[in-house]
Amino acid sequence: MIPLPLARIAEITSGALAGRADPRAVVRGPVVIDSRDVVPGSLFVAIKGDHVDGHDFAGRAVAAGAVAVLASRPVDVPAVVVGDAVAALTRLATAVCAALPSATVIGVTGSAGKTTTKDLLARLTARLGPTVAPAGSFNNEIGHPLTVLRAAEDTRFLVLELSARKAGHIAHLTRIAPPAIGVVLNVGTAHLGVFGGREAIAGAKGELVEALEADGVAVLNADDPMVAAMAGRTAARVTWYGRAANATVRAEHVTLDGRGRASFTLRTPSGAAPIRLRLYGEHAVGNALAAAAAAYELGLPVTTIAEELSEAEPRSRWRMEVTDRPDGVTVINDAYNANPDSMRAAFGALGALARGRRRFAVVAALRELGEESAALNEGVGRLAAGEGLEALFVVGPDAGPILAGAGAGRTAGEGGGAPPGGGGLRVVHAADVAEAVDGLSALLAPGDVVLVKGPRAAGLERVAEALLGGDRR
């Protein structure tokens, strides 16, 4: 963080120094909310959660070297006392971002692929200068300002993931760190329930490009009509990416290898270069193109972009992790989260990877889909039934619609040509993770492929980890 004396922090946050805090004592960062992350020079932000109250750890934080505590009530150590710690954190991040001498802020949003694209882009900008990006999906109202506060005087790029659960969220995040480049990936069905419709989702995602100034750049997906329509909502110049022939930054000659990894030619106005991704699934092409388009705008040479994208490994856990067991069973762990679109992408990757092999899938009911929940979950069942699986395990409660969809899809499949393998689909409802692991283990034979994919709350990564016996790679 940019070094700031406590007096200045109190001024920015409209707080009061307490606990014999020295106004001249300087915070150099990091700003943290977990007392175990404190190092000398830190500012510890005491947040009162449902289960834990950060104020109880104030003493421990200062003992570990925190200069002071940003607190919403006096504690018996040096503190800046404010009305609302999260609001104060937001103000501090806003002020620090505005004071960064040479940082370009790049925001990434969309229904699916944000974390992947953010990780790819951070890798590209690191070739141009010091880059700060959040770890994983640390992008909520607390994670976002904490990430911004990691920026220092020499930071050249802040690559941020912006997600929304309702209108106004992204606009709020863009006020903390106003973006110069805004990347919108897609408008899908994630959080459909809380939004109430795809138009509302597009409305919320579009707040990112609305926040851009005229000298900014909106990087938009030419292949997604609802993203393309956002061109009308921004004052900034638009750079298109995608498979479409009119996209400025595009992929040509896309092919998938036997593991479902894409190769293609990256074409830009300043040249072309071959890319061979290590990320699994065809949907990774769009994410790579989005990162490439933003990096192209920043002036990174196309050959460097292609080189870096070809070297990138998945950075954040449980997203399309493909692991071979010693006995030749391949497990695709995509259990980080799921929505109807990423479910389709995951089955697409399974299809590409499992050519000629027996395939299995473990899924759980998708959540937060509102009124359309039953219909969309039935769709997941139908999708799974059309994938030529030996067996589909549906884990946990609310499995009804998926089971029904799979049953209907199976009947339709038998009418219109049996799936590869010929044996027909076995659909199993497993009450919990353990039951799924036991049932599946009994069926697996060398050479099989298993897709594990479900919403975060279902915790299906435990299925993948059990199948892999704790041996991850």
Ligand X SMILES: Nc1ncnc2c1ncn2[C@@H]1O[C@H](COP(=O)(O)OP(=O)(O)O)[C@@H](O)[C@H]1O
**Residues lying near ligand X in the complex (CB under 6 A):** 112-116, 137, 185-186, 283, 286-287, 319-320, 334, 336-337, 341-342, 345-346
115 is an interface residue for Mg ion by CB under 5 A: yes
The verdict on whether omega for the bond into residue 134 sits within 30 degrees of 0, i.e. cis, is: no
Going residue by residue from 122 to 161, which x/- string records binding to Mg ion, judged by CB under 5 A?
---------------x------------------------
Per partner kind, with CB cut-offs from 5 to 8 A, the member of Mg ion, ligand X, none near residue 42 is none
Measured over the CA atoms of residue 229, residue 175, residue 149 and residue 44, the dihedral's sign is negative
Measured from the CB of residue 189, what is the shortest distance to ligand X in angstroms? 10
CA-CA distance, 154 to 103, in Å (whole number)? Answer: 8
* Cβ-contact 1, 30 below 8 angstroms: yes
Return the number of the residue (21 or 292) whose C-beta is nearest ligand X.
Answer: 292
CA-CA distance, 389 to 361, in Å (whole number)? Answer: 7
Identify which range of 17-25, 45-53, 113-121, 455-463 contacts Mg ion by CB under 5 A.
113-121
Q: Which helix (H) or strand (E) holds 31?
A: strand 31-32
Measured from the CB of residue 154, what is the shortest distance to ligand X in angstroms? 27
Measured from the CB of residue 191, what is the shortest distance to ligand X in angstroms? 10
Measured from the CB of residue 240, what is the shortest distance to ligand X in angstroms? 16
Pairing verdict, β 26-27 and 4-5? antiparallel
* Cβ-contact 446, 329 below 8 angstroms: yes
Closest residue to ligand X using C-beta atoms: 113
Per partner kind, with CB cut-offs from 5 to 8 A, the member of Mg ion, ligand X, none near residue 239 is none
Identify which range of 111-119, 188-196, 294-302, 305-313 contacts Mg ion by CB under 5 A.
111-119
Per partner kind, with CB cut-offs from 5 to 8 A, the member of ligand X, Mg ion, none near residue 78 is none
**For residue 445, what are the contacts with CB-CB under 8 A and spacing of at least 6?**
329, 358
314 is an interface residue for Mg ion by CB under 5 A: no
Per partner kind, with CB cut-offs from 5 to 8 A, the member of ligand X, Mg ion, none near residue 109 is none
Per partner kind, with CB cut-offs from 5 to 8 A, the member of ligand X, Mg ion, none near residue 113 is ligand X
Per partner kind, with CB cut-offs from 5 to 8 A, the member of Mg ion, ligand X, none near residue 432 is none
CA-CA distance, 424 to 248, in Å (whole number)? Answer: 45
CA-CA distance, 163 to 470, in Å (whole number)? Answer: 32
Nearest to 345 by CA among 293, 279, 405: 279
111 is an interface residue for Mg ion by CB under 5 A: no
Per partner kind, with CB cut-offs from 5 to 8 A, the member of Mg ion, ligand X, none near residue 13 is none
Return the number of the residue (282 or 378) whose C-beta is nearest ligand X.
Answer: 282
- DSSP string spanning 69-126? EEESS--SSSEEE-S-HHHHHHHHHHHHHHH-SSPEEEEEE-SS-HHHHHHHHHHHHT
Per DSSP, what are the bridge partners of residue 4? 27
Measured from the CB of residue 136, what is the shortest distance to ligand X in angstroms? 8
Return the number of the residue (115 or 268) whose C-beta is nearest Mg ion.
Answer: 115
Return the number of the residue (55 or 114) whose C-beta is nearest Mg ion.
Answer: 114
Identify which range of 47-55, 115-123, 215-223, 383-391 contacts Mg ion by CB under 5 A.
115-123
Geometric angle at alpha carbon 145, from 39 and 190, rounded to 5°: 125
Nearest to 105 by CA among 164, 162, 182: 182
Q: Which amino acid, one-letter code, is at 9?
A: I
Measured from the CB of residue 350, what is the shortest distance to ligand X in angstroms? 11
CA-CA distance, 418 to 199, in Å (whole number)? Answer: 38
Query: Quick one: angle between helices 340-353 and 373-385, nearest 10?
Result: 10
Measured from the CB of residue 123, what is the shortest distance to ligand X in angstroms? 14
Measured from the CB of residue 309, what is the shortest distance to Mg ion in angstroms? 19
Measured from the CB of residue 311, what is the shortest distance to ligand X in angstroms? 18
Residues that bind Mg ion (CB under 5 A): 114-115, 137
